[in-house]
Structure 1
Amino acid sequence: MFAALTGMGLSAAAGLNAYIPFLVVALIARFTDYLTLPQGYAWIESWWAIGIGAVLLLAEVVLDKIPAVDTVNDAVQTFIRPSMGGLIFAATSAAGNLDHSTWMTQNPWVGVVLGIVTSGLVHGGKTLARPAINAGTLGFGAPVASTVEDGASIGLSLVAVFVPVLVIVLLVALAWVLGWLWLTVRRWRRRRDRRTAVA
């Protein structure tokens, strides 16, 4: 049960930023005994994987804060974020010290599918909300929204690993915030368009 909650939280975090949960899992597995990845996923904590993940994270953090470029980045990430969500879900749900669920260990495909779906849903929400934020704020909202998303990805990743019971609460809150933000910016844009049409 805890492994599934951890996997869901990390997959949702990957929907916001693919590389943050990857690096959180890699660094915790590499430097602590809290998380022991199974043999098939041990490459995640290798120095080369951590190095590549860090470079990709740096590129993602920069590109995601530039209006219009962030939309192109989201289009590219449509394939990467769900894949990373599936990978991280499968790796952590198979980690024996998180959960002693033999069913999840014997059926790793379930973790992959759940990770892809969870990450894909969050990525879809982000992809829909970001153009509305950019248009509604004339691009000034892109760096703010991106920074909030990165912070949420870090927080969700850490909670998923260390306090997985809270993952459900955070996922509901994340869905509410994304929906509220999208609706608020849409309303603001409609008002602005009406004022422009009248003038």
Structure 2
Amino acid sequence: MSVLPLVFTSGWASGVNAYAVILLLGIFGRTGLTDEVPASMERTDVLVAAGALFLCEAVADKIPYVDSVWDAVHTFIRPVSGAAVGALLAGQSGDSMSDLTAGAVGGSTALASHFVKAGTRMAINTSPEPFSNFIMSTAEDLGVGGLVSFAMFYPEAAAIIAGVLLLLGLALIVFLAHRIRRFRRRRAQRREEKRLAAMARRPPD
């Protein structure tokens, strides 16, 4: 299963920015840097469409709350893209791993990383300043580009990094969810205390 590390890494990256993955893999294949990419991903129309959609995401992903709407729309797109890329990579390499298995690995990994991305952005959007969205989006773009490029030459090491990032992201989501629930409970408690205090101060009829 020599292609499995690349499938896993591309799945993780697809959950963050599916269009960047398709664009990068297509460019790598078209320039002859790798023979793992199928010809269908190297086509000019595919590269142009992926590049245009990547630019749209690069803008939308940096605007508070717009990024969450964009993530919601891509809840279905990113896992499907990860599955399709995984199946194509497995088919192109002639690996013993079936296209169905590769698609399942790529799709499930993309779904998990998309969940991390969307959940993190929802938490960041609670911040009153807009710069955290821009910083996080830029870091994600650089991370996807760097890790997919790294995977072309060192797929096993890239897969390990992607796995660590995915586990850290899931742990962060659990932590943030716990903190948000605790904050909401405290806010509800303070509101109830204020309501009771106001009732206590109210003169009797």
- TM-score bin (small chain): 0.7 to 0.9
* 1:20 maps onto 2:20 in alignment: yes
In structure 2, C-alpha distance between the alignment counterparts of 1:125 and 1:165, rounded to whole Å = 22
Out of 155, 166, 182, the residue aligned to residue 175 of structure 1 is: 166
* 1:79 maps onto 2:76 in alignment: yes
Out of 64, 67, 80, the residue aligned to residue 64 of structure 2 is: 67
Aligned to 2:195: none
Question: Secondary structure of the residue that 1:135 maps to in structure 2?
Answer: coil
In structure 2, C-alpha distance between the alignment counterparts of 1:12 and 1:36, rounded to whole Å = 18
Runs of 4+ off more than 4 Å: 179-182, 184-195
* 1:133 maps onto 2:124 in alignment: yes
Question: Secondary structure of the residue that 1:154 maps to in structure 2?
Answer: helix
Larger-Rg structure: 2
Deviations 1:55-80 (A, max 9, x none): 00000010000001000000111111
In structure 2, C-alpha distance between the alignment counterparts of 1:130 and 1:22, rounded to whole Å = 23
Question: Secondary structure of the residue that 1:161 maps to in structure 2?
Answer: helix
Aligned to 1:4: 4
Comparing 110-119 with 54-63, which one deviates more in the overlay? Answer: 110-119
Equivalences, count: 190
In structure 1, C-alpha distance between the alignment counterparts of 2:166 and 2:51, rounded to whole Å = 27
Offset of 1:15 from its aligned partner?
0.5
In structure 1, C-alpha distance between the alignment counterparts of 2:101 and 2:171, rounded to whole Å = 31
AA in 1 matched with 2:15: G
Give the TM-score normalised by the residue count of structure 1: 0.82
In structure 2, C-alpha distance between the alignment counterparts of 1:10 and 1:168, rounded to whole Å = 9
AA in 1 matched with 2:127: G
Deviations 1:28-51 (A, max 9, x none): 1111152254xxx42210111100
Out of 37, 47, 72, the residue aligned to residue 44 of structure 2 is: 47
Give the TM-score normalised by the residue count of structure 2: 0.80
Aligned to 2:196: none
Question: Secondary structure of the residue that 2:76 maps to in structure 1?
Answer: helix
Aligned to 2:203: none
Aligned to 2:200: none
Identity across matched positions, percent: 31
> How has the CA–CA distance of structure 1 residues 23 and 122 changed in structure 2, closer, same or farther, with 3 Å as cutoff?
same
Offset of 1:111 from its aligned partner?
1.1
Offset of 1:173 from its aligned partner?
2.7
Offset of 1:2 from its aligned partner?
2.6
AA in 1 matched with 2:139: V
Structure 1 residue ranges without an equivalent (≥5): none
